[in-house]
């Protein structure tokens, strides 16, 4: 988790500006390895050095979990494309995921009350 966040902090846009900027928030679910007693404080320190806040979602609740909206969109695509799903599962999943864009992500966070 620490390596992932460290690498994410190094990612830049085409214009050279960082993807994660001062005032941004990273929202994580309550998966056990996200909140390890040793990992969470280190992660908070790393992010705070860049002015980024770390927030955890409330205890599991499907209506407040952005991933559930994403999974539902993927499952809907797979259901609509059963023949492709049956014979070319990886392609079907790739197609489904490729349809998730920034506007979908914003809608997921808005539906969960984070925006």
Q: What are the pLDDT digits (tens) for 44-55? A: 999 999 999 998
Residues of the chain with pLDDT under 70: 31-36
Report the pLDDT value the prediction gives residue 11, as an integer from 0 to 100: 93
Dist. CA 37–CA 30, nearest whole Å: 13
Report the pLDDT value the prediction gives residue 34, as an integer from 0 to 100: 56
How high is the mean pLDDT of the chain? Answer: 86
Report the pLDDT value the prediction gives residue 23, as an integer from 0 to 100: 93
Residue 113 Ramachandran class (φ > 0 left, ψ -120 to 50 alpha, else beta)? left
User: How far apart are the two ends of the chain, measured CA to CA in Å?
Assistant: 25
- What pTM value is reported for the model? 0.54
Tokens in use for 34? 């996200």
Report the pLDDT value the prediction gives residue 35, as an integer from 0 to 100: 60
């Amino acid at each position: 988790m620490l390596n992932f966040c460290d690498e994410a902090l190094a990612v830049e846009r085409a214009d050279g500006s960082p993807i994660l900027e001062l005032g941004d928030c990273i929202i994580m679910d309550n998966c056990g390895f996200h909140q390890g007693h040793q990992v969470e404080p280190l992660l908070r320190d790393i992010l705070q050095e860049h002015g980024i806040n770390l927030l955890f979602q409330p205890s599991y609740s499907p209506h407040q979990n952005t991933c559930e909206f994403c999974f539902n969109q993927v499952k809907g695509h797979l259901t609509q494309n059963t023949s492709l799903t049956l014979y070319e599962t990886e392609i079907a999943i790739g197609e489904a995921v490729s349809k998730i864009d920034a506007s979908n992500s914003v809608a997921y966070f808005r539906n969960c009350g984070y925006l």
